[in-house]
Structure 1
Amino acid sequence: MPIARLLFATLMLTMSSAARPALPRIEAIDRVWAGHYSRFALVTTERRIIVAYYDANRQLTVATRARDDGASWVYHRLASWTGWDSHNYIAAAVDSAGQIHVVANLHNDPLVYFRTMRAGDPRSFVGVAAMVDGQRERRMTYPVFLRDGAGGLIFKYRDGGSGNGNEIYNRYDPATGRWSALLASPLVNGEGRRNAYFVGPTPGPDGRFHLAWVWRETPDAATNHDLSYAVSRDLVHWTRADGTPLPLPITLKAAGIVDPVPVRGGMINNNSVIGFDRQDRPIITYHKFVADGSTQIFLARWEGRRWHIAQASEWAGFRWDFGGGGSLDSRLFVEGAVADAAGLLRIRVRRDGAPIDLIVDEATLARRGERPGTTLADTLAPLIATPPGMTLNTVESDGVAIAWPTRPPNRDRPTADIPEPTTLRLVLP
């Protein structure tokens, strides 16, 4: 059960006069930078909890502790400091030999990468100047660690800038401690005129990796267009939804287009998320403008020969008319569809800060209504004070979470003042 549901159930029971179970356990980790949001990293193993974050002085820091109750934190500060850019989120992973890997502070920047030399020991971190190709690794953004089908460690990133970038994948060998290129070419090539923005690849219940993305012509966020999809069993060989091979690198002309949303059509990067129905079919959640000019949530599902596209929301008067560069203070976030035993799909969204569950019929994707939703941040709100003008951010992993308040993104620009640091907390159910 997701930690948000566990905590919500615990709080409801705590409010009841018939039962007084213990509240969720919340412990302080450190004081952290709160001037703008940039995602921190949480990694859990069978025995350890690892958190990577920017401390009160903006310095990249790793803290670890055993999962045992009452265990002490071990801290290590790394030679990297963040500025005002919300793109500079942190990626972290633990390989099969127990070494910790951290990549951070990248927005069209040279590689910032640290790894331990003694398994699980944050005080043995060393800086690594290059992974595979030092010349290529000079304009990196969006670092992501993931696992291949065999559990091997994969790292991906964008090479180049917004409107002109390629997607690069590397593979790690724990026996040698070295990285190598997973693919002979970039996964996707913007041909010097555009780049692709991905969410995923998402491992599916069918044993395959599913990838959805949008294309962008320029740094202007309004120039996203053409929702696309590909699928793979090994992250090396990719096909369209109908099974036809996709030669690499994938270009706009060759891509499997799901919905040809035009430039300035109301579709934004990072909001094309994949979920699955009970038949293991992928369903892409995204948003775009409709004829009356409003922004609405849509679902797309491959149904044998075609993409079935259905509108999942019916919001009167809501339009998110975004544009420009830098990190946006987003009005809308979407998650992947989740199926229940009653033949319905739940699509969780957050609109202007309010969580909403959209309900659709699993068989037809027809709308069945909406209801208020609950996020982990909402559940923690009575327990963790959030200063005015800030939001409570959370990251979850394997039954635990971290939570910390910050100001929202400010298009990667400095603000007129610097707020006091806030407390980064560990949340245990």
Structure 2
Amino acid sequence: MSLLKKIFICLLLPSFLIGGSLRAQTVKIIPVGKAWANNSVNAVIFRKNSLVSYKDYQFIAYYSETGNVVLGKRKLGSKNWELKTTDLKGNVTDAHNCISIMVDGKGYLHIAWDHHNHPLHYAKSKSPLSLELDAPTSMTGETEKSVSYPEFYRMPNGNLLFFYRNGASGKGNLVVKSYDISTSKWSMLHENLIDGEGKRSAYWQAFVDAKSNIHISWVWRESADVASNHDMAYACSKDGGKTWQKTSGEKYQLPINASNAEYACKIPQNSELINQTSMVADQAGNPYIATYFRPEGSNVPQYHLIHFDGKWHTQSLGFRTQAFSLSGMGTKKIPIARPQLVAWSAKGKLSAMVIFRDEERGSKASVAVNTDLNHTKWQVKDLTDTYVGSWEPSFDTELWKSKQQLHLFVQPVEQADGEGKTNTPPQLVQVFEVKL
């Protein structure tokens, strides 16, 4: 049985779906420390990653009340964190400026922080498993003057990928760099993988599967207004990111743009379509994309699952009842979180689990599970009764892959609309260990 199948089957043990919330003993809450909570900068979904494990250790990062980067480490299974408040600082009043971390295949911690059309801020640990960082540095020195949405991905061989947007909302391009653990050097893989052509920008989500295939999907945005999001496009690389192809196997002529992209789902502008969600792929390399938008003929945005099994399908989870409008600029105060996703196929059935937060359910950490996508029945449950405010889910992807354990970064935060600041006192960062 494949690792992915084992992981996803484990997530569906009977105790997972009993009652209105998970049994108390299935979620172990590990406190870490209090942190900035005046907006959602510590709890946005596009942190890749907020938590990350390497061998027997787990690392964490967040901003303190003063905007300093805090790094932490613990031995898995322990409640005791070693925390270090660094001299690095970020503009925490802008929720885009999150911290992303990853540990490479030799145990070095990599960190990128404080980016919203800013020059690159990047550092690496002095030694494996250390919280002590070398001085901030460039990666390649190329295309590093206007960085947004930095994301690290670890390849199965231990090398890293680094994705980020170069440019601005409505006129940005996707840059991809690669880190080789044998040389400890970064190189440019693509200076412009997905081209906005000066007219639009791609807001993506990506996933590296067990066979080292890289999957990426994205919505286009025509301006700084989130209401101009439209469509869901897709590409895959089977050679470490050098070349890219469609589900048909047809090779892309790079850069990818709006006219040559493969579309998994056509979604008009002004559909309350959100950007930067999540995706995965099963053992066969079939992609699954979680998102939300308002279906045609309805005024209620719903979570959707877009997946491929020889052809593209779009399924509405259909359980939401409250309408809202998604428009304007800056980080929005939205009644639902962007969704995290796991999805898999077993015994001829397609299954999926979505992790989310919704004001309809009291703004808790919740999940929706469907064990057979041939049917539209989703079972919706809360992980705990804890109020999480404007939190969005992020989790330890590497621990999930290696040890079949689901650890969520959780902090109650409050986001004001359009980069406003609330008067929320520092709130406790916690790790939810979901025992399955």
TM range (shorter): 0.7 to 0.9
User: Which residue type is aligned with residue 203 of structure 1?
Assistant: V
Partner residue, 2:326: 322
User: Which residue type is aligned with residue 357 of structure 1?
Assistant: A
Offset of residue 312 of structure 1:
2.8
Partner residue, 2:36: 33
Offset of residue 269 of structure 1:
1.0
Instruction: Give the whole-Å Cα distance in 2 for the aligned partners of 1:409 and 1:336.
Output: 26
Return the match for 2:415 from 384, 409, 420: 409
Structure 1 pair 35/5, CA: closer, same or farther in 2 (3 Å)?
farther
Partner residue, 1:111: 120
1:163-174 counterparts in 2 under 5 A? 163-174=170-181
1:171-250 counterparts in 2 under 5 A? 171-183=178-190, 185-200=191-206, 202-204=207-209, 208-233=213-238, 234-250=240-256
Instruction: Give the whole-Å Cα distance in 2 for the aligned partners of 1:63 and 1:162.
Output: 32
Matched, 1:86 2:95: yes
Instruction: Give the whole-Å Cα distance in 1 for the aligned partners of 2:261 and 2:406.
Output: 38
Matched, 1:75 2:84: yes
Stretch of structure 1 that moved more, 278-287 or 170-179: 278-287
Conservation of the 8 A alpha-carbon contact between 1:146 and 1:153: yes
Matched, 1:273 2:279: yes
Offset of residue 35 of structure 1:
0.9
1:191-247 residue CA offsets vs partner (Å, 9 max, x unmatched): 1111101111x2346652222111111010011112111111121110111111101
SS at match of 1:293: coil
User: Which residue type is aligned with residue 155 of structure 1?
Assistant: F
Conservation of the 8 A alpha-carbon contact between 1:29 and 1:424: yes
Return the match for 1:357 from 368, 390, 407: 368
Conservation of the 8 A alpha-carbon contact between 2:61 and 2:99: yes
Offset of residue 297 of structure 1:
4.4
Instruction: Give the whole-Å Cα distance in 2 for the aligned partners of 1:280 and 1:403.
Output: 27
Partner residue, 1:101: 110
Offset of residue 50 of structure 1:
1.3
Conservation of the 8 A alpha-carbon contact between 1:156 and 1:170: yes
Conservation of the 8 A alpha-carbon contact between 1:98 and 1:119: yes
Matched, 1:421 2:426: yes
Instruction: Give the whole-Å Cα distance in 2 for the aligned partners of 1:211 and 1:394.
Output: 18
SS at match of 2:192: coil
Gaps of 5+ in 1: none
Conservation of the 8 A alpha-carbon contact between 1:226 and 1:257: yes
User: Which residue type is aligned with residue 36 of structure 1?
Assistant: N
Partner residue, 1:286: 291
Instruction: Give the whole-Å Cα distance in 1 for the aligned partners of 2:291 and 2:390.
Output: 26
1:315-370 residue CA offsets vs partner (Å, 9 max, x unmatched): 686444211111123334333544455835335364734346364744xx4x4323
SS at match of 2:58: strand
Conservation of the 8 A alpha-carbon contact between 1:239 and 1:245: yes
Instruction: Give the whole-Å Cα distance in 1 for the aligned partners of 2:416 and 2:65.
Output: 18
Structure 1 pair 227/404, CA: closer, same or farther in 2 (3 Å)?
closer
Offset of residue 146 of structure 1:
0.6
Instruction: Give the whole-Å Cα distance in 1 for the aligned partners of 2:221 and 2:335.
Output: 20
SS at match of 2:135: strand
Conservation of the 8 A alpha-carbon contact between 2:333 and 2:418: no
Instruction: Give the whole-Å Cα distance in 1 for the aligned partners of 2:313 and 2:230.
Output: 16
Conservation of the 8 A alpha-carbon contact between 1:10 and 1:23: no
Instruction: Give the whole-Å Cα distance in 2 for the aligned partners of 1:423 and 1:77.
Output: 18
Return the match for 2:160 from 138, 153, 158: 153
Partner residue, 2:376: 368
Normalization by structure 2: what TM-score? 0.80
User: Which residue type is aligned with residue 349 of structure 2?
Assistant: G
Conservation of the 8 A alpha-carbon contact between 1:144 and 1:157: yes
Query: Higher Cα Rg: structure 1 or 2?
Result: 1
Superposed CA RMSD in Å reads 3.5
Instruction: Give the whole-Å Cα distance in 2 for the aligned partners of 1:92 and 1:369.
Output: 36
Gaps of 5+ in 2: 1-6, 400-404
Conservation of the 8 A alpha-carbon contact between 1:390 and 1:405: no
1:224-275 residue CA offsets vs partner (Å, 9 max, x unmatched): 1121111111211101111111011111111112223222233221246345
SS at match of 2:227: helix
Conservation of the 8 A alpha-carbon contact between 1:197 and 1:215: yes
Offset of residue 110 of structure 1:
1.2
Partner residue, 1:309: 313
Stretch of structure 1 that moved more, 37-46 or 342-351: 342-351
Instruction: Give the whole-Å Cα distance in 2 for the aligned partners of 1:31 and 1:268.
Output: 29
1:41-88 residue CA offsets vs partner (Å, 9 max, x unmatched): 212111322111111222111122333646561424132133222111
Conservation of the 8 A alpha-carbon contact between 1:36 and 1:406: no
* Length, aligned pairs only: 404
Normalization by structure 1: what TM-score? 0.81
SS at match of 2:241: coil
Conservation of the 8 A alpha-carbon contact between 2:357 and 2:392: no
Conservation of the 8 A alpha-carbon contact between 2:411 and 2:430: no
Conservation of the 8 A alpha-carbon contact between 1:211 and 1:229: yes
Identity %: 23
Structure 1 pair 411/245, CA: closer, same or farther in 2 (3 Å)?
same
Stretch of structure 1 that moved more, 86-95 or 73-82: 73-82
Instruction: Give the whole-Å Cα distance in 2 for the aligned partners of 1:361 and 1:11.
Output: 18
